[in-house]
Amino acid sequence: MQMKIENGHVLDPGNMDGIRDIWIHDGRIAAVTEPGECRDRADEIFDATGLVVTPGLIDMHVHLREPGQEYKETIETGCRAAVRGGFTAVCCMPNTRPVNDHAGVTAWIIAQAKKAGLARVYPVAAISRGLEGSQLNEYADLKSAGAIALSDDGMPVNSGQMMRRAMEYAKAFDLFLISHCEDLSLVAGGVMNEGETATRLGLGGIPNISEYLMVQREIGLAEWTGSRIHIAHVSTRESVQAIREAKARGVQVTAETAPHYFSLTDEAVGRYNTAAKMNPPLRSEADRRAIIDGLADGTLDCIATDHAPHASMEKNVPFDEAPNGIIGLETSLGLSLKLVHDGFLSLKDLIRVMSKNPARILGFTNDLTPGALADLTLMDTAAFWEVDPSAFASLSRNTPFGGWQLHGQAVATIVEGRVVFRK
């Protein structure tokens, strides 16, 4: 079975940038040729004229909710949302029920994802037993079962000692930690960014320093132990600066941010809009600009969505009571392309932060070169479309971007040579 993707603008930062034909054979890239140069027969021809063809997008931070909360999302619906958003792979966080703190759960997630046959799913296992922050998990077992990294995500590891030992222990198995940075004592019941909007609404504020202090601790511990640390969903200007300085002195730190942190500010909470409630919270305009600067200068390595599905009945409550999180897989590329259209990032840099860098952090290459697995995203960067949550493949609808006009979207997603989504 040979497939030819012809006449696309192939953009693989560091490798290629031009109009090419891509030949795919048995799930791998067989050749990349000048248009019309190779006259081999193809069983299937995909006309990519006018489209940008890139290595598959990877979202390092999603919640698939299965096992345990299948009414919000299942591995299958989450993967369907992923491929519609142009993602060929996602990393799923361990706060499922049961928690992914055991090889059996990890293996089960991978099996379910295989069954769905859409995006690749790389499970992130828990740092600590039951996400309780007190006992290390069996990292060797988790790694053999397929865990790609470790995180207690929404339950930040409070004890510095526990975090130190987890970093040291993970090194033995060549695993790295992803940290949700939050000093809970400074959050103190806050539900949105501490600032003028919170003051006006009478809502408890979450100060920037609750994130920044923990970022500093993780950087310090990574430096001390010689370990790698990945900072999840960076939201504040102080965190960006701390990561920038740490990278400059050679600390093994990488970081991600999410589209909502460069697209919105805490003003989106408006009049108690629970669709704008997330953790970390939407911040100020100064923070939003710092996040964009951090992406532009490489301080922030990648864009991840923190796709967090919740049922509408859970979000349709007073603000204090609503769960944190928004979905993001189907809007991520459109929102991120706005950075390109607005001149903050080149398209090449965007592909770096959405595709190449996540792969590098996860420990594999994601190239469009002969012999590589054929994971590709085909995007129409010029298409205008309106976000319609009712049309999402995700089971949940909790997004603040409904009705937004976006510029650019994925039109096809190919995983191991198979078209898993085509618009």
Q: Are 73 and 95 in contact (CB under 8 A)?
A: no
Nearest to 93 by CA among 172, 143, 140, 147: 147
Task: Examine residue 186 and tell whether it contacts another protein (CB under 8 A).
Answer: no
SS3 257: strand
**Cβ 236 to another protein shortest distance, Å:** 14
The residue (of 203 and 229) whose beta carbon lies closer to another protein is 203
Q: Which residues does residue 123 pair with via DSSP β-bridges, in sequence order?
A: 92
**Cβ 267 to another protein shortest distance, Å:** 12
Determine the Cα–Cα distance for residues 259 and 234; give it in Å rounded to an integer. 11
Residues that constitute the known binding site for substrate? 63-65, 95, 279, 310
Nearest to 314 by CA among 132, 94, 96, 69: 69
The residue (of 314 and 330) whose beta carbon lies closer to another protein is 314
**Cβ 202 to another protein shortest distance, Å:** 3
The residue (of 245 and 267) whose beta carbon lies closer to another protein is 267
Phi, psi (degrees; rounded to nearest 5) at 311:
-70, 150
The residue (of 9 and 310) whose beta carbon lies closer to another protein is 310
Task: Examine residue 371 and tell whether it contacts another protein (CB under 8 A).
Answer: no
Which range, of 117-125, 135-143, 197-205, 397-405, touches another protein by CB under 8 A? 197-205
Among 114, 115, 200, 422, binds another protein (CB under 8 A): 200
393-422 footprint of another protein as x/- string (CB under 8 A): ------------------------------
Residues touching another protein, count (CB under 8 A): 20
DSSP strand pairing (57-62 vs 405-415): unpaired
Is 306 labeled as catalytic in the residue annotation? Answer: yes
Looking at residues 314 to 333 of the shown chain, list those that interact with another protein (rule: CB under 8 A). Answer: 316-321
Q: Are 217 and 165 in contact (CB under 8 A)?
A: no
**Cβ 188 to another protein shortest distance, Å:** 9
Task: Examine residue 196 and tell whether it contacts another protein (CB under 8 A).
Answer: yes
Which range, of 103-111, 147-155, 191-199, 249-257, touches another protein by CB under 8 A? 191-199
Q: Which residues does residue 205 pair with via DSSP β-bridges, in sequence order?
A: 192
Task: Examine residue 249 and tell whether it contacts another protein (CB under 8 A).
Answer: no
Among 154, 205, 281, 358, binds another protein (CB under 8 A): 205
The residue (of 86 and 195) whose beta carbon lies closer to another protein is 195
CA angle (166, 170, 176) in 5-degree steps: 100
Q: Are 156 and 232 in contact (CB under 8 A)?
A: no
Task: Examine residue 203 and tell whether it contacts another protein (CB under 8 A).
Answer: yes
Determine the Cα–Cα distance for residues 417 and 392; give it in Å rounded to an integer. 24
Neighbour-count burial for 331-362, b at 16+ CB within 10 Å, e otherwise: bbbbbbbbbbeeebbebebbbbbbbbbbbbbb
104-143 footprint of another protein as x/- string (CB under 8 A): ----------------------------------------
Burial class (CB in 10 A: 0-12, 13-18, 19+), 33: middle
The residue (of 186 and 419) whose beta carbon lies closer to another protein is 186
Q: Are 342 and 4 in contact (CB under 8 A)?
A: no
DSSP strand pairing (28-33 vs 16-25): antiparallel
Task: Examine residue 285 and tell whether it contacts another protein (CB under 8 A).
Answer: no
**Cβ 385 to another protein shortest distance, Å:** 29
Task: Examine residue 287 and tell whether it contacts another protein (CB under 8 A).
Answer: no
Nearest to 397 by CA among 328, 318, 321, 344: 328
Q: Which residues are catalytic?
A: 306
Chain residues binding another protein by CB under 8 A are 194-196, 198-205, 271-272, 313, 316-321
